[in-house]
Amino acid sequence: MDYFLTETQQEIRDLAYRIAEEKIKPVRAEYDEKGTFPWDIARVLSDSDLFGSYIPEEYGGLGEGLFSGILVTEQLARICSGIALVFEGTLLGTYPLILFGNEEQKEKYLPRIANAEIISAFGMTESGAGSDATGIKSTATKDGDHYILNGTKQWITNAVEAEVYTVVCLTDKERGIRSATAFIVERGTPGFGFGKKENKMGIRASSTAELVFEDCRVHKSAILGKVGQGLRVAMDTFDMTRPVVAAQAIGLAQGALDEAVTYSQQRVQFGSKIASFQSIQTMLADMAMKIESSRLLLYHLCRLADRGDKDLTKLSAIAKLISSDMAMQVTVDAVQIFGGYGYMRDYPIEKMLRDAKITQIYEGTNQIQRLIIANELIREYNRSKR
């Protein structure tokens, strides 16, 4: 189905899936088992011009916008959600630069990201500030033309592999989140290092670790946007990257459905293929229905984003919420179709179930997404009454 995609979008989608089938599928179990980072896949994506598909042409990308980012993510996640994060996590780290970077910052970093010379990461979450973004404690103290960063960021995707990071810190403790400011920090900056590398349940091919700042000195030219604009940098970034989490969830669910349909045609019980059983057919139909509904919503959202619509917060939260809940249900049902075999690592379906859970958690838990949606509804109502 072409979903009214342009010819270029279809080519991007098909190329990403071909890379996933040919390059990722043979190694996904090994990467999951060892928890190693897929640099080889990043280079393949770069050689295919996909790594910078969403980056503007003037900075070395294809200039195909958010839609291309979700198409690549969806097809990679269809085969391995963990390996897909080499692309997805970099997109998260890059969008603050696209949205808020000045010309000098964009010219310095975006071309290098587009060709996968470097990858990026985004640091907001802390041990006491996950769902509550206003609870961050990391500080950036002004010292002449520099800022001194102190604090720790937790559960950061691409952490120990990235070369450039956007981190949000408080420039005035008394003003709290109103003073939050986004800084670009390069790997190797004195005072910047890494803490605990996490041993995760799923997405194990993705690097997740702490960023540690101990009197880390950065020049004021590293400020992204303006002083005090850090929360806006984060929230506007999430409006553009929550759809990418939705794409990860949809791709993962599609992969689980692909596996379940194939298995149902091969597995024989009571003298018949289980695909002929009405109970199995009903489960497969429900899975397909939920995936298609989520995909259509996501594609609509991305078309709005790429045409420049600004008020995307509610729809972005809805897409992330619906798609991730759907992926969790679809992978649970897929394991059920596989029965006992689905619980074994001989088949990829148990990995898909493990990978699906994180989509309900990161970039705002689904409980938080519901609050965002409700708050946007109330804001829209109050605005209509003025």
Catalytic residues: 363
Largest CA distance in the chain: 79
Is residue 129 within 8 Å of 137, Cβ to Cβ? yes
Residues facing residue 150 across a β-bridge: 139
Q: How far apart are the C-alpha atoms of 328 and 321, rounded to whole Å?
A: 11
DSSP 8-state class, residue 126: B
Residue among 320, 317, 311 nearest 379 (CA):
311
Quick check: helix, strand or coil at residue 5?
Answer: coil
DSSP 8-state class, residue 53: T
* H helix or E strand, kind and range, residue 242: helix 230-266
Kindly report the CA angle at 17 between 15 and 22, in degrees rounded to 5? 95
Q: How far apart are the C-alpha atoms of 335 and 355, rounded to whole Å?
A: 13
Is residue 25 within 8 Å of 44, Cβ to Cβ? no
* H helix or E strand, kind and range, residue 83: helix 81-100
